Amino acid sequence: SFNRLNKMEEGQRVLIKVRSDDGLDFGGTLDVSVNLSKAELNSICNLYEKNSQKYSFYIKEEQITGFLKETLKKLNLNTESVVEVTCRPDSLINVRSVTRCTSSLPGHSAAITSISFSPHAQFLASGSGDTSVRLWDIHTETPSASLNGHKDWILALAWSPTGHLLASGDKSGLIIIWDVEKGAQKFPPLKAHKNWITYISWEPLHLYRDSFRFASSSKVGSNNYI
């Protein structure tokens, strides 16, 4: 009941169902303590998936950062019903040398789906399910810009040969060309395909240094030359 929830007794238990964004169940309904931690939830998913992936967990888009009971209290949920917990891979970019991780770059709020280094290795671009494209300064390992304009998952990134422009394609078939120096759209968005973009490739530098032409491909097998 809600009264029991407010008191949240030490030994209280709750039924939860852990599920990924695409509907995959991590086991059946679980009877767990309200004192279950995020780390313990992660161990459950690792055991089920047989991996060592780090996950983030949400109840009604409220992230579980400590213990289960803290999020239940915040949402004032009825613990007598099965609580659905959404599981997502952690949204961190690991920048690695040959032997070790040099830095972790937090910033995206959903899974990272695409990354691409600029031609001169000054920037790293990352695209995410949070619909943003982020630029990172490789030398300082800090955020440089957040590019917002998409309304769906970013699935493809490609730098122009000179590194002045960046093309991003999303799940809706939209492509946006970004002026990297200004951190803004260079042209109006292009509705290139009816389905999601799978790949973007610019015209090679040796053919035309300042070319605005690139090719894109889509899930349904179509190709566009823009």
Say yes or no to pLDDT of 208 above 80. Answer: no
Q: Domain extents for the chain?
A: 13-97, 112-225
Say yes or no to pLDDT of 71 above 90. Answer: yes
pLDDT, tens only, 36-52 = 999 999 999 999 888 88
The secondary structure of the chain, three-state, reads CHHHHHHCCCCCEEEEEEEECCCCECCCCEEEECCCEHHHHHHHHHHHHCCCCCEEEEECCEECCCEHHHHHHHHCCCCCCCEEEEEEECCEEEEECCCCEEEEEECCCCCEEEEEECCCCCEEEEEECCCEEEEEECCCCEEEEEEECCCCCEEEEEECCCCCEEEEEECCCEEEEEECCCCEECCCCEECCCCCEEEEEECCCCCCCCCCCEEEEECCCCEEEC
Say yes or no to pLDDT of 106 above 90. Answer: no
More confident site: 16 or 226: 16
Q: Regarding the domain delimited by 112-225, which CATH topology (the fold level of the hierarchy) does it fall under?
A: Methylamine Dehydrogenase; Chain H (2.130.10)
Q: Specify the pTM.
A: 0.53
Q: What is the pLDDT of residue 77?
A: 85
Predicted confidence band of residue 213 (pLDDT cuts 50, 70, 90): confident
Predicted confidence band of residue 1 (pLDDT cuts 50, 70, 90): very low
Mean pLDDT for the stretch of residues 67-89: 90
